[in-house]
Amino acid sequence: MFGLPQSTEVNRRVAKEKLYSNANIPAQLREVIKDSVEAVFWRNKLADGTFNVSAGDSVTELQVFEIQLR
């Protein structure tokens, strides 16, 4: 998608419920997510173990997600 190295690829589908299961969000917003999001895919993980970059003091890795809307 972004031309990132193959070593960073995860390419796994993520259950929509994972978007809000660990967050404290109102039920109304949960319904919006359920109604608006078709699918979520975890595409890449950029970290010192997958990409030639060192972890910083406040940011240790980046995750890239693709969200398909209805």
**Tens digit of pLDDT for each residue in 7-25?**
999 999 999 888 778 788 8
Q: 40-56, pLDDT tens digit by residue?
A: 999 999 999 998 888 88
Q: Tell me, yes or no, whether 19 lies in a domain.
A: yes
Give phi and psi for 56, each to the nearest 5: -90, -175
Taking Cα atoms as reference points, which of 65, 66, 63, 67 lies closest to residue 45? 63
The secondary structure of 8-45, three-state, reads: HEEEEEECCCHHHHCCCCCHHHHHHHHHHEEEEEEEEE
pLDDT of residue 70: 94
Q: Tell me, yes or no, whether 64 lies in a domain.
A: yes
With a cut of 90, say whether residue 1 has pLDDT above it: no
Query: For residue 6, what pLDDT band results from cuts at 50, 70 and 90?
Result: very high
Number of domains, the chain = 1
What range defines the domain where residue 10 resides?
6-69
Q: Tell me, yes or no, whether 1 lies in a domain.
A: no
pLDDT of residue 36: 94
Q: Tell me, yes or no, whether 39 lies in a domain.
A: yes
Q: Tell me, yes or no, whether 18 lies in a domain.
A: yes
Q: Tell me, yes or no, whether 55 lies in a domain.
A: yes
